[in-house]
Structure 1
Amino acid sequence: MMGKIPMFSPGSTVSSALPGYVALCLALQIHRLASEFTVIGPDRPIIASLGGEAVLPCHLSPRMSAENMELRWFRSEFSIVVHLYRDGQDQYRHQMPEYQGRTELLKGDIKNGSVSLRIRDIRPSDNGQYKCFFQSGVSYKDAFLELQVAGLGSAPAISVEGHQDRGIRVVCRSAGWYPEPEAEWRDLLGKILQSDSEKISPEANGLFQAEIAIVLTEESNQKVSCCVRNPQLNQERESEISVAELFFPRVNPGLVALGVILAILAVLILLASYCIWRQHRAKETLRSELESEKEKLRSDLEREKGQCLGPVGIAITLFEKMWYRNRSASVSLSTSPKLQIHSRGMGKTDGTELASRCRLQG
């Protein structure tokens, strides 16, 4: 049997309470709808570059205002937060020290239940999982997010480190990578070459350094390149070196210029030395010729003098010697007897007079 549907007269007590029941039902429905929401995060990892910034978005479904909700981003522990929004404002009391001053809640679309957390100055320690948490009353939901930090390192530096196995050992180094990079040697056509050693090591700042070595011979390709790649960003840095330059080093233009200048200076010095030597030799030759001429003149003079005086010259010479000898012995010339010289065709005459006559005749 079917029961009768109760009827309420307009003046009954139940009829007067109907608006209260309706309001209660609406409130219960609203509460039920409010408790039935989900939090949706990005469906793929968020990649951020070192030193840059990352935005971690979350939104509610269905759309509803989150202004009066509690919004929390945290990592491993619920109580230690990356960022907290409660009672309509940001709360920093329980924020992790490493995130202080680096986070900002973007609330431009919070009335539609969409918010994002911005993290500035990305570091290697920011890499990993995050959880965004929404709570309204006793209802709460959350969603996971993944932040992948990536960084390109320095351009590879190639250096030669001696001979090995009848070749030259060449080492390539590059630092400042995150996460661990991949390194390889390639030939001119892009073919991967067998490396002698490879090492990826962590640095003090949490980044990574790559070091890869290869032994090159004269038979190796014309050029080889060292490539270091970030697998997350799918970007790489590359440096190349010519094998010919290793075995036949390129001449430094500066050294060539220096060599030319030194050669020119050497030639100039030799020319100057030769000129000085020629001048000195000419002076010596002239001096020798003058001495010879002087000796010749002296000989001619003596010969002419002998021809002019004859025996008288010999006597005068003997007289002069005796005079100098007597003078040195402090003997007065006046006390010595006059030297009488007899010549053919001449009478007895003073030697000095004969010398004077000879000079006059000459």
Structure 2
Amino acid sequence: MSAETMEVRWFRSQYSPVVHLYCDGQDQYRQQMPEYGGRTELSKDDLTNGRVSLRIRDIRPSDDGQYTCLFQSGDSSEEALLELQVAGLGSAPGISVEGHQDRGIRVVCRSPGWYPQPEAQWRDLQGQLLPSASENISREADGLFQAEIAIVLTEESNQKVSCCVRSPRLDQERESAISIAELFFPRVSRWRVALGVILPLQAVLIVLAGYCFWRQHRAKETLRSKLESEKGQ
């Protein structure tokens, strides 16, 4: 079987344009999809035996998905489907402290460069999951994903915690940990606590004193009216 009589066509959802095309004894690039330009290479070492392989360089998220290989020679043809799964392990999570929130400290974890969409979570020292204050998995301009997850640590629950971002497709994860010293947590002044108790109590006493004064004044007025009435009689 001569290689010059064969046609090997790699394509995605449509027959044309192609990912890569080989016919008339050479590679043809005029029908190639622009996004694959300069990135494909067909191995022809075993072409006469009906075996070929396609190499795609500089893999991108958009390369993920199904491919069809169509092999034609004369009146005969064979077709095969291939599923390409693209996976990217992102960078180690970066943890930052972003101020006070709900009488605690808001801590944010970010990790870019993942594909496909990753999972993110906070864990304690025992590896137990902790509730997050917010979670956002966003797609970046290059098609990769960034994970951002926040937690609010309080003085009562202060402990070393870790941020874990995981790729379900690769079954791998990256992890970073943080521990915040107690002195950084917002403290409630004892005077503020005392005033919070005293001021409402003082307001109640003032109201009661005013009510008692009003009752006493009313009793005096009633008695005076009664005496004047008796004098008149």
TM range (shorter): 0.7 to 0.9
Give 1:127's match in structure 2, choosing from 46, 58, 64. Answer: 64
Aligned pair 1:154/2:91, yes or no? Answer: yes
Instruction: Report the residue type matching 1:248 in the other structure.
Output: L
Partner of 1:79 in structure 2?
A: 16
Partner of 1:212 in structure 2?
A: 149
Q: Post-superposition shift, 1:111?
A: 2.5
Aligned pair 1:184/2:121, yes or no? Answer: yes
How many aligned residue pairs are there? 183
Q: Post-superposition shift, 1:100?
A: 1.2
- Aligned partner of residue 85 in structure 2, secondary structure: strand
**Structure 1 Cα separation of the partners of residues 35 and 53 of structure 2:** 19
Are the equivalent residues in 2 in contact too, given 1:66–1:113 (CA < 8 A)? no
Structure 2: stretches of 5+ with no match in the other structure: 185-233
Whose Rg is larger? Answer: 1
- Per residue, is there more helix in 1 or in 2? 1
Map residues 83-102 of structure 1 onto 2, 5 A cutoff.
83-102=20-39
Identity, % of aligned pairs? 75
Map residues 296-307 of structure 1 onto 2, 5 A cutoff.
none
Q: Post-superposition shift, 1:221?
A: 5.5
**Structure 2 Cα separation of the partners of residues 191 and 82 of structure 1:** 46
Change in 2 beyond 3 A, CA 1:159/1:109: same
Are the equivalent residues in 2 in contact too, given 1:230–1:236 (CA < 8 A)? yes
**Alignment root-mean-square deviation, CA:** 1.5
Give TM-score scaled by structure 1 length. Answer: 0.49
Q: Post-superposition shift, 1:66?
A: 7.1
Q: Post-superposition shift, 1:191?
A: 1.0
Per-residue CA deviations over 1:39-79 (Å, capped at 9, x if unaligned) read xxxxxxxxxxxxxxxxxxxxxxxxxx572321100012112
Give 2:42's match in structure 1, choosing from 105, 115, 122. Answer: 105
Instruction: Report the residue type matching 1:191 in the other structure.
Output: Q
Map residues 36-75 of structure 1 onto 2, 5 A cutoff.
65=1, 67=3, 68-75=5-12
Partner of 1:242 in structure 2?
A: 179
**Structure 1 Cα separation of the partners of residues 142 and 162 of structure 2:** 28
Instruction: Report the residue type matching 1:204 in the other structure.
Output: A
Q: Where has structure 1 moved over 4 Å in runs of 4 or more? A: none
Per-residue CA deviations over 1:208-242 (Å, capped at 9, x if unaligned) read 11110111122325310001111111111111001
Give TM-score scaled by structure 2 length. Answer: 0.74
**Structure 2 Cα separation of the partners of residues 168 and 104 of structure 1:** 53
- Per residue, is there more strand in 1 or in 2? 2
Are the equivalent residues in 2 in contact too, given 1:187–1:221 (CA < 8 A)? no
Map residues 4-15 of structure 1 onto 2, 5 A cutoff.
none
